[in-house]
Amino acid sequence: MTSALRSVAVAVPIASELYLNRELGLLEFNRRVLAQAEDPAMPLLERLRFLCILSSNLDEFFEIRVAGLKEQINGNAPSAEPDGMPPRKVFGMVAQRAHELVERQYRLLNREILPGLAEQGIRFLRRSGWDEAQRAWVKEFFFGELMPMLTPIGLDPAHPFPRVLNKSLNFAVELEGRDAFGRSSGTAIVQAPRVLPRVIPLPRDIAGCEYGFVFLSSILHAHVGELFAGMAVRGCYQFRVTRNSDLFVDEEEVKNLRIALQGELPQRHFGNAVRLEVADSCPPAMTEFLLQQFNLAAEDLYRVDGPVNLVRLMQVPDRLDRPDLKFPFFLPAPLPGLNKRRDIFEAIRKQDLLLHHPFQSFQPVIDFILLAATDPQVVAIKQTVYRTGAESVLMEALVEAARNGKEVTVVVELLARFDEEANINWAGRLEEVGAHVVYGVVGHKTHAKMAMVVRREEQGLRRYVHLGTGNYHSRTAVAYTDFGLFTCREGVCADVNEIFTQLTGLGRAGKLQHLWQSPFTLHQQMLRAIRNEAQQARAGRPARIIAKMNALLEPEIISALYAASQAGVKIDLVVRGVCALRPGMAGVSEHIRVRSVIGRFLEHSRVFYFYNAGAEDVYLSSADWMDRNFFRRIETCFPVLDKRLKRRVINEGLKPYLKDNRQAWEMDDTGCYRKRTARRAKPYSAQLALLELFTGKLSA
């Protein structure tokens, strides 16, 4: 280790033992999510919601990360990660930890969450406990709503095992006897309709409680025999398969990316299987049969004591009028100074404006585009779109602006994972009304969050821009923490215009005055800022780095942080998700602390602070410190130039997270996390404090 430590400050790549594994780090993050559901102080329906979030996270983890591991193993590829751990070893550790997570998840569901909900009059009625009225209601539902949509498939030479959709609910049915044609294969597959909810509400008088639900799987179990007249059902077992969902489009070969992607999207449902989930009652012979059908091994099998897809329970809290079991409702605070008499352009001309979501409303961002769409003085609108949702007032405003004759240019990222279909649809609608739609740059996802409005005013054309750390998505704006900045500073606006010109045209990248941009300057500027702090520390001057992000993985940045720590720079990293840096190692990173904050809101903002000899530079960014963000994406990192707003970012976006002793987790040099506790200090939650600051609400 000694030689490795000496090389940290001068060479990249550094020794593999100084990096933590990405996949294992992602599972550690999901342990912290599960801990939210395990917390008895959390409102009960929110505990259920966190269980569902965990399932959703694990789904994507298997669809993308585990799928990638399996491809590396099958191709005998060496490790692609800086930690150097062989893919097969990583997969073995991932499988062990994922199984432990899932076992804890279902134990919590069955021992605490469901019994706790039942005490509150919210019951999930099991087949074994149905009374006569409930059985009659279920039977009527089956014949009226479910059976007409079912297509049972008996397995025989003419009916091979069906193509099972990714993450769909299916049932393997064991049968005895012969059908009308004399066939007796003994096995059939029934696929549950995707259009039906997985949790069915019962009328209150039938349920016998305030809220009663029946799982769709229970209804089908109870009446599956109706699908196989004259045959005896010996067993019915729910299962779900997760498939590789990483799309591949050779952008250099295709002539039209949108058309190519439309052809590729349907195949996402039928990628190679990576995980099989089955009910714990499924016998060994049936599980072995299913594993063979999907070309999976025993370590890919996850037996669960309950529904195989907890994600579909996410709808339950939203359907219940039980505010006592949820986080208190809050209205995001309005932007001070804006009212019906004063439009947002006038406000921006007066001074830069900062929005801190979700504590402050996203409505000014929507109003920015809505007003631009109808303002006769506005001549052009340009915007990037990464995630925006299938329904979006903001996107409708862009459509309206194009109809009104504005020059509308939209850079749509078609390869935004799991949002491809929505983005394709919006691209089509925008093109239909005459907007200029481009898909960014081949080989580089457009992840920057930028909007620019050009107005004709008395002094000539003036540009107004919005830059953000989060997406132009109204729903996530009330669930994710993000910053957004409005400005009409000419230097910043010129930089934004230059980036739009790069994205829509051809030519060399121009020099930017204020913004740092991937893939050109962001990485080198971050390294320069980190190394500058190290230089200050070596000279005996104060030096400080605080950085908040979603992930930290890029090796050269980690190397620079290690070197800065060795120089004596105090470094605080608030990393919500995976972090490959090892903090607190003597001689390497003893001046670095890493923490993660998990709470009501998803921490999503990227904030970077450098003391810089007292200048206290503050940057907001769309980019995490990952290879892809620095080298394979179009990203922006923009300074907060207004001193008043800079102080706000420090006081709202950084200091509360360093003070948090309720929802913060501290990382050790092995990659494990310990939740901070308020021993002598007063309990303090960053998110709760910000809610109280902006809205007066006291629950995070």
Q: What is the pLDDT of residues 6-16, one digit of tens each?
A: 333 333 446 88
Q: What gap in Å lies between CA 36 and CA 324, rounded to an integer?
A: 18
Confidence check: pLDDT of 676 > 90:
no
* Cα–Cα dist 287/337, whole Å: 63
Would you state the pLDDT for residue 180? 57
Q: Confidence band (pLDDT; 50, 70, 90) for 184?
A: low
Residue 99 DSSP SS3: helix
Can you give the pLDDT at residue 6?
Answer: 35
Confidence of residue 176 (pLDDT cuts 50, 70, 90): confident
Q: How far apart are CA 657 and CA 576, in angstroms?
A: 11
Per-residue confidence (pLDDT) for residue 2, from 0 to 100: 35
DSSP 8-state secondary structure symbol assigned to residue 156: B
The token pair at 97 is 């930890």
Stretch 563-587: mean pLDDT, rounded? 97
Q: Which of 567, 671, 669, 631 shows the shortest CA–CA distance to 8?
A: 567
pLDDT of residue 179 exceeding 70, the answer is no
- Most confident segment among 76-80, 153-157, 633-637: 633-637
Q: Which amino acid is at 123?
A: R
Q: Token pair of 93, please?
A: 């550790």
Exposure string over 475-511, b if 16+ CB within 10 A, otherwise e:
ebbbebbbbbbbbbbeebbbbbbbbbebbbeeeeeee
| The pLDDT of residue 361 is above 80 | yes
pLDDT category at 508 given cuts 50, 70, 90 is confident
What is the average pLDDT across 28-52?
A: 97
pLDDT at 698: 61
Inform me whether the pLDDT recorded for 326 exceeds 80. yes
- Of 617 and 318, more confident: 617
57-110 pLDDT, tens per residue? Answer: 999 999 999 999 999 999 888 877 888 899 999 999 999 999 999 999 999 999
Tell me: domain 16-325, CATH 1.10.10.10, correct?
Answer: no
pLDDT of residue 442: 72
Q: Is the pLDDT of residue 330 over 80?
A: yes
pLDDT score of 188 more than 70: yes
| Integer angstrom CA distances of residue 631 from 447, 477, 520, 521 | 12, 27, 8, 10
Q: Which of 5, 21, 90 is nearest to 580 (CA)?
A: 21
Residue 281 pLDDT > 90 = yes
| Of residues 302 and 474, more confidently modeled | 302
Q: Which pLDDT does position 10 carry in this prediction?
A: 36
pLDDT at 46 over 50: yes
**pLDDT, position 388:** 79
Helix, coil or strand: residue 587: coil
Among the residue ranges 268-272, 274-278, 499-503, 544-548, the one predicted with the least confidence is 268-272
Tokens 């359907």 map to which residue?
Answer: 319
Regarding predicted confidence, which is higher, 58 or 425? 58
User: Is the distance from CB of 536 to CB of 616 less than 8 angstroms?
Assistant: no
Q: Are strands 153-154 and 460-468 parallel, antiparallel or unpaired?
A: unpaired
Q: What is the DSSP letter of 699?
A: -
CATH of 344-513, picked from 3.40.50.1580, 3.30.870.10, 3.30.1360.20, 3.40.190.10, is 3.30.870.10
Instruction: Answer whether 384's CB lies under 8 Å from 448's CB.
Output: yes
CA dist., res. 521 & res. 527, Å (int):
10
Q: Answer yes or no: is pLDDT of 689 > 60.
A: yes
Whether 56 has a pLDDT exceeding 50, the answer reads yes
> CATH 3.30.1840.10 occupies which residues in the chain?
16-325
Helices (H), 225-293: 257-264, 284-293
Inform me whether the pLDDT recorded for 257 exceeds 80.
no
Whether 343 contacts 377, CB under 8 Å: no
Neighbours of 443 (CB within 10 A): 10
**250: confidence class by pLDDT, cuts 50, 70, 90:** very low
Q: Residues 9-37, buried b or exposed e (16+ Cβ, 10 A)?
A: beeeebbeebbbbbbbbbbbbbbbbbbbb
Alpha-carbon dihedral angle through residues 129, 132, 134, 137, given to the nearest 10 degrees: 150
Kindly write down the DSSP assignment for every residue of 361-428, as one continuous string.
Answer: -SHHHHHHHHHHHH-TTEEEEEEEES---SS-HHHHHHHHHHHTT-EEEEEE-TTSTT-HHHHHHHHH
pLDDT higher than 70, residue 268: no
Give ranges for CATH 3.30.870.10 in the chain: 344-513, 517-695
Per-residue confidence band for 266, with pLDDT thresholds at 50, 70 and 90: low
Contact 62, 274 (CB under 8 A): yes
Give the rounded percent of residues in the chain with a pLDDT score beyond 90: 74
- Per the CB < 8 A criterion, the answer to whether 453 and 383 are in contact is no
pLDDT in tens, 338-358: 765 568 999 999 999 999 999
Q: For residue 242, give the H/E element and its range.
A: strand 232-243
CB 441 within 8 A of CB 503: yes
Confidence of residue 441 (pLDDT cuts 50, 70, 90): confident
Largest pairwise CA distance in the chain: 89
The reported pLDDT for the residue numbered 177 is 78
DSSP lists the bridge partners of residue 383 as 410, 451
- The reported pLDDT for the residue numbered 182 is 59
Q: What percent of the chain has pLDDT over 70?
A: 91
Query: Mean pLDDT: which of 247-261, 438-452, 663-677 is highest?
Result: 663-677
Q: What is the average pLDDT score of the chain? A: 90
How many angstroms separate the CA atoms of 601 and 663, rounded?
A: 11
Q: Which of 319, 451, 449, 475 is nearest to 390 (CA)?
A: 475
Whether residue 441 contacts residue 257, with contact meaning beta carbons closer than 8 Å, is answered with: no
Reply yes or no on whether the pLDDT at 302 is more than 80.
yes
159 assigned to active site: no
Residues composing the chain: 700
pLDDT at 7: 36
Cβ atoms of residues 456 and 379 within 8 Å: yes
Distance separating the N- and C-terminal Cα atoms of the chain: 43
Catalytic member of 356, 357, 444, 447 = 447
SS3 sequence, 663-694?
CEEEECCCCCEEECCCCCCCCCCHHHHHHHHH
Domain made up of 517-695: CATH architecture: 2-Layer Sandwich (3.30)
Mean pLDDT of all residues in 211-240? 93
